[in-house]
């Protein structure tokens, strides 16, 4: 595939988007400890066309005494930003400055979306990379409260040298329980105001959201973060999109349920244990290390529909510990749990083998959303807290939370359109199908206290 440093001369804007990246429509977002190489490989198998590394802390990445951090983030043997960008420049198609992080650590460090007030500084950062790199620089940002300021900001980024803009349709205050909906109208206004390609970010949770988003925003492509984490096949429309199996079930007598993978008008929903086993096989095949924190986080999200039932396996996942130097051996322990869950899910699927898909899918009466069988990958929505005074939200006032998922620690992403192993209705409501499997466990998966989600 074209890309991965195939640029004899540095291309710009649509020429770069079309000739180097291949005009991708399906983009996998940068996600803290979650868009590592193994997950990017899995996402590609299921339709992801352009993938971002997690954001990388330019200061830590550029320091000579941070070799371990560098190798974990990107496995390759305003000054720190350029220094970091130069290290990875030969191994990616573009370098993205992520201006979207809304988390408190970004507020304290004055980066991510909290640089939005420092327009002169942002201009210099983008322009420095634009003038000094052999690959294009792109930028991801959050909208402002007004359309006018959002458009002005986007035009400033374009004038600084950003060759692609990713517009997240939420403000920096829309996070946590106040995430709410992304504003596609503001993304549309940005698209109409600039001459470079625009990627729309926000509210992409089902495959069926993609065309609606493209039509509503006029964007060139859509980016998914949370939707991809709960279903890495979010970009795949049908069973015909299923890739060949990577490995057979461990037991040759394993039953093959009639509706093991499900495709509906919302897109493809593979069995989550199938996805997990594929992911772990990729982890084992790579020279690039995958943190066990990343593995645990992926498994908890994939298995969310089932873990409220299979609490013993949920507890085993949450208590899994890794001894230093034995990370690769631990993958086999993850596989043991996954295969046990796989057997239980096949059992449940076989119990309803005589039913049709329509009979297996229910509708949440409060939201109108489809609730799929618990053995397949599907999105999750958290309800907003009740308004002050204990009032009850009307149905039309219930909004979804699509927790943003970039890295707060960092401000540089790498894009790659090539196979990588470096030398890598817009309204949504909430489903309360199953509770958070293990909030304490999900906190424990963080590599350090600075690793929180952003967007």
**187 sits in which H/E element:** helix 184-193
The one catalytic residue among 101, 110, 167, 213: 101
Cβ–Cβ under 8 Å, residues 225 and 29: yes
Query: Residue 94: what are its φ and ψ, rounded to 5°?
Result: -160, 160
Q: Which of 18-32, 76-90, 225-239 bottoms out in mean pLDDT, i.e. has the lowest?
A: 76-90
- Catalytic site residue 101? yes
pLDDT digits (tens, 9 = 90+) for 65-123: 555 554 555 444 377 788 889 988 998 999 999 898 777 767 777 777 788 888 999 99
pTM: 0.81
CA distance 247 to 270: 15
Q: How confident is the model at residue 453 (pLDDT cuts 50, 70, 90)?
A: very low
Pairing type for strands 198-201 and 50-52 reads: unpaired
Q: Which of 171-180, 282-291, 366-375 bottoms out in mean pLDDT, i.e. has the lowest?
A: 171-180
Query: Per-residue pLDDT for 163 more than 90?
Result: yes
Q: Which of 145-149, 155-159, 179-183, 205-209 bottoms out in mean pLDDT, i.e. has the lowest?
A: 179-183
C-alpha dihedral over 449, 454, 338, 207, to 10 degrees? 180
CA distance 78 to 272: 43
Mean pLDDT of the chain: 80
Nearest of 74, 168, 85 to residue 126 by alpha carbon: 85
Structure tokens given for 138 = 């792109």
Burial string for 199-231 (b: 16+ CB within 10 Å, else e) reads: bbbbbbbbbebbebbbebbbbbbbbbbbbbbbb
Cβ–Cβ under 8 Å, residues 245 and 271: no
Which residues does residue 141 pair with via DSSP β-bridges, in sequence order? 99, 167
Query: Per-residue pLDDT for 443 more than 70?
Result: no
pLDDT digits (tens, 9 = 90+) for 304-338: 999 999 999 999 999 988 777 677 778 999 999 99
């Amino acid at each position: 595939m074209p890309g991965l440093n195939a640029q004899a001369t540095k291309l710009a804007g649509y020429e770069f988007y079309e000739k180097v990246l291949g005009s991708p429509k399906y983009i996998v977002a940068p996600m803290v400890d979650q868009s590592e190489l193994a997950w990017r490989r899995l996402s590609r198998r299921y339709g992801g066309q352009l993938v971002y590394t997690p954001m990388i802390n330019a200061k830590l990445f550029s320091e000579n005494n941070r070799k371990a951090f560098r190798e974990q983030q990107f496995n390759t043997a305003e000054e720190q930003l350029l220094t970091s960008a130069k290290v990875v420049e030969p191994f990616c198609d573009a370098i993205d400055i992520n201006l979207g992080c809304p988390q408190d650590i970004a507020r304290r460090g004055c980066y991510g979306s909290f640089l939005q007030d420092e327009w002169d500084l942002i201009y210099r950062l983008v322009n420095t990379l634009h003038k000094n790199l052999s690959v294009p620089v792109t930028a991801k940002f959050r909208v402002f409260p007004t359309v006018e300021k959002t458009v002005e900001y986007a035009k400033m980024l374009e004038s600084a040298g950003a060759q692609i803009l990713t517009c997240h349709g939420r403000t920096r205050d829309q996070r946590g329980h106040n995430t709410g909906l992304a504003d596609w109208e503001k993304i549309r206004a940005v698209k109409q105001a600039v001459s470079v390609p625009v990627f729309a970010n926000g509210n992409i949770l089902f495959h069926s959201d993609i065309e609606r988003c493209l039509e509503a925003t006029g964007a060139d492509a859509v980016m998914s973060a949370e939707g991809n984490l709960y279903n890495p096949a979010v970009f795949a429309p049908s069973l015909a999109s299923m890739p060949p199996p990577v490995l057979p079930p461990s037991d040759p007598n394993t039953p093959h349920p009639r509706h093991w993978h499900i495709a509906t008008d919302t897109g493809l929903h593979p069995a989550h244990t199938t996805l997990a086993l594929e992911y772990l096989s990729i982890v084992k095949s790579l020279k690039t290390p995958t943190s066990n924190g990343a593995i645990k986080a992926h498994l908890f999200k994939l298995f969310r529909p089932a873990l409220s039932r299979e609490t013993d396996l949920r507890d085993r996942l949450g208590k899994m510990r890794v001894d230093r130097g034995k990370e690769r051996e631990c993958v086999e322990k993850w596989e043991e749990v996954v295969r046990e869950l796989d057997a239980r899910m096949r059992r449940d699927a076989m119990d309803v083998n005589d039913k049709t898909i329509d009979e297996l899918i229910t509708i949440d009466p409060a939201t109108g959303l489809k609730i799929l069988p618990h053995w397949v990958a599907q999105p999750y929505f958290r309800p907003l807290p009740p308004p002050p005074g204990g009032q009850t939200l009307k149905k039309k006032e219930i909004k979804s939370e699509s927790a943003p998922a970039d890295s707060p620690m960092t401000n540089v992403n790498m894009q790659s359109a090539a196979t990588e192993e470096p030398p890598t209705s817009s309204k949504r409501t909430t489903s309360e199908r199953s509770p958070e499997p293990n909030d304490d466990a999900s906190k424990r998966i963080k590599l350090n206290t600075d690793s929180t989600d952003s967007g």
